[in-house]
A and B are shown apart, each in its own frame.
Chain A
Amino acid sequence: MWKLLQIELFKIYRRPRTYIAFGAITAMIAIIQLGLKVDGKEYMEFVMADLGSTFSFEGNLLNGYFVCFVLLNLLLIHVPLLISLIAADMISGEANMGTLRLLLTKPISRTEFILAKFFASAIYTLTLLIWLAVLALFVSIAVFGTDDMFVMKNYYAVQISADDVFWRYVGAFGFAALAMITVAALGFFLSLFAENSIGPIVATISVIIVTTILSTMSIPLFNAIKPYLFTTHMVTWKEFFDEKVDAENNVIKGTIENPDRIITSVIVLSLHIVAFVGASIWVFKKKDVLS
C-alpha cells in the first residue's frame, strides 16, 4: 500500500498538468492582492458603507487576516474546479493512456490500488490548500500586516482580536481541506466510468454547480435535501470566524458561536468521502478492464 502510494505521488508530481492548479491559484491570489494593495482603501469604503455612518473605525482594517478572508471567500468556490483536474483523471487518465491494464497485470490488489490512488489525490488536494494558505494568509500578512479582523455577517459584524485569529485560520483551512477532499472523492468516483478525463472533470464540476444551486436556493421543495448535500456544508469554514458573546454582549475570546454546525458538517463531509471511496472500490473490483 505504501509502495503504491509512493508510486502514485511520484506520478502526480511529475506531471506538468499538476502544476496548472498551483499556477492558477498563484496568479489569482497575486491579482487580488495587487488590486487590494493599490485600491484597497476604496474597496474598504465600499464594504463598510453601511456601518461607516454609525461606527467609527480605527487601526488597519485592510490587514492580512481580512485579505485572507476575502481571498478564501472568492477562491474556495473555484478550487474544486482545479482539484477535479487531477482527481477526476486518476482512473480515467490511466485508462486513456493504456497504463491501467499494465498496472493491473502486476501483483497488486484492486482495493489497495483504489485506496492508494485516492490517498494520493487527497495528498495533492492538501498540498494545493497548503500552497493556498501560504499565499493567502502568510503573504497577505507580510504585505498588509496584522490587526483585529473585521467580518461582515448577514445581520451583524464581528470584530476578532488580532491575537485570536490565527488558530481560526488553522481550523478554517483544516475544514476546507476536508471539503476539498470530498470534491476529490467525487471526482475520483466519477473517473471510474470513463476512458478519458474530460467527461469526469465536466461531470464533477456539473454536480458541484447543481448541488450548490440546490444548497443556496431557498425553495421549499429542495429544503428537505439541503442538509444532506455536501455543498451545503462546504462553506461551514466561515463558522470559525464568529464568536460567542456573554450576557453583557462582550465577546468571549477563543470561542466559536456555532461549534455544533462545524461538527455536523465534518460528519456529513466525512460520510460523503467514505461513501464515494467505498463505492469506487465496489465498482472497480467488479470492473472489466477493456481499455
Chain B
Amino acid sequence: MQDIIKVTGLTKKFDRFPAVNELSFSVQEGDVYGFLGQNGAGKSTTIRMLLTLIAPTKGEIELFGKKLQGNKHEVLSQIGAVIEKPDVYKYLSAYENLKLFAKLSDKKITHQQLMDQLEMVGLAQRAKDKVKTFSQGMKQRLGIAIALVHDPKLIILDEPTNGLDPQGIADIRNLILHLSRDRNKTIVVSSHLLTEIEHVATKVLIIDRGRKLVEGTAAELFDPSQTIIELDTFDNASGLAKLQSSRWNTMLQPSREGLIVVKLDKKDTPALNRYLVENGIEILSLQPRHSLEDYFLQITSGKQHVEAFTN
C-alpha cells in the first residue's frame, strides 16, 4: 500500500511552546485514520500543517509520495478538508458556496455534479437558501460537500462532529463509512472522543501534548478479547526483570507511572497471576484496563510519554 501521508519528526513551536513535538506517523491508501487526543493535544495544529495553513518549525511532510514544500498546488488539489467549524459565506446560498469553492479546484465541475453533491449530504432541497438560515448540522454537511466536490483522494475531517446532535453524529459516521467503503477514499478524522473514532477507524493514533502516545490498527486497539493489566508489586523493578526473562516478555508494554503494564488475552489473566505468585512477586494490585476508552483517558490525563502501544 502506498503511503498517502508520511510525517517525520514534525514539530511546531508557538513562541517556545511546542504544540506538536517530534511527531511521526504514516497513513496508507484506503485507511480511515483516527487521530485522537484531548483538546489542545496538537491534532488541529498537525492537520493545519498538513494543509499548509501553518508552517512547521521542524520535520518533514510527504503527501502522495511528494514533499509538501514545493508541491503545494499538486498536493492540495487532491485533498478535501473540513477544519473544525464548517464556516462558509453566510450571505450566499448553499449552491453558491459550493460553486465558489468548486471553482477553486483544478477540475471542471458541472451544475449536475454540484447538485449531486448537495443531494449526497441531504441539502439539495435547500440549495437556494442562504446559509445564515442553516442549522449547525446543515452547515457541517455543506462543509463536507465542499470538501468532496472535486472528488479528492484524501479527505481530512478535523473534529467533524463538533456541535452536532446524536443524529448528526450518526450521519457523519455513516458518511465516513460510505466514502471509505463505496468510494475508496483515504480519510483522516480527528476527534477528542474515542467513541466517534472506534466505529469508523481502521488505524488510530493517539497524541497528547503534541507527542505520539499510541499508534496501531483498530483491530489491535479495539480487540475485545485483549486487555491491559497494570501491576503494582512490592518491588516493581525486580518484578519487571522476572517478567522480561519469561514468556510474558513479548506482552510487556512501556511502563507508566512506575507500574508494570502487560497487554494480553483476557483468558491469560489467571495464568499471569499464577506466574507472579509462583515466582515470589508480591502483588499489591492487579488492575485490568478493560477498554481502550479507559486506557485513552488514563494516558491522556497524562503523566508520562509512551512510545508505542503495539510493536
Contact = CB atoms under 8 A, between A and B. Distances in A.
Interface of A: 3-4, 6-7, 10-11, 14-16, 97-99, 101-109, 286, 288-290
Contacts of A288: 48, 53-55
B207 interface: no
Given A7-B103, A101-B83, A103-B104, A14 B73 contact: no
Interface in B131-163: 143, 146
Interface string B87-121: 11111100010001101111000000000000000
Contact of B54 (A97, A98, A108, A289): A289
B140 to A, nearest CB: 13
B53 A105 contact: yes
Nearest to B80: A105
B2 interface: no
A254 to B, nearest CB: 48
Report the 4 A-B pairs with minimum CB-CB distance, sorted nearest first.
A98-B87, A106-B104, A107-B77, A289-B53
A7 to B, nearest CB: 6
Contacts of A10: 100
Given A102-B146, A288-B55, A109 B73 contact: yes
A21 B299 CA distance: 56
Given A7-B103, A10-B100, A98-B85, A105 B91 contact: no
Name the residue in B52, B53, B90 with the highest tally of chain A Cβ atoms < 10 Å from its Cβ: B53
A278 B240 CA distance: 63
B76 interface: yes
B51 A105 contact: yes
B72 interface: yes
B68 interface: no
B76 A107 contact: yes
Contacts of A7: 100, 103-104
Main secondary structure of the interface of B (DSSP, over half): loop
B214 to A, nearest CB: 27
Nearest to B143: A102
Nearest to A6: B103
A19 to B, nearest CB: 12
B83 A105 contact: yes
B91 A108 contact: no
Interface of B: 48, 51-55, 72-74, 76-77, 79, 81, 83-85, 87-92, 96, 100-101, 103-106, 143, 146
B92 A14 contact: yes
Contacts of A3: 103-104
Given A7-B100, A10-B100, A107 B87 contact: no
Contacts of B51: 101, 104-105
16 contacts: A4-B104, A7-B103, A11-B89, A11-B100, A14-B92, A15-B91, A97-B89, A101-B87, A102-B83, A104-B52, A105-B51, A106-B105, A107-B73, A107-B74, A108-B73, A289-B53
Given A7-B100, A289-B48, A104 B53 contact: yes
Which of the listed residues A10, A98, A106, A286 has the most CB atoms from chain B within 10 Å of its own CB?
Answer: A106
Contacts of A102: 81, 83, 87-88, 101, 143, 146
A289 B77 CA distance: 19
Contacts of A107: 72-74, 76-77, 104-106
Residue among A3, A104, A105, A288 with max Cβ neighbours from chain B (10 Å)? A105
A16 B91 CA distance: 8
A109 B146 CA distance: 19
Given A105-B79, A289-B53, 15 more contacts: A11-B92, A16-B91, A98-B84, A99-B87, A101-B51, A102-B87, A104-B52, A105-B52, A107-B76, A107-B104, A109-B72, A288-B48, A288-B55, A289-B54, A290-B54
A106 B72 contact: no
A270 to B, nearest CB: 31
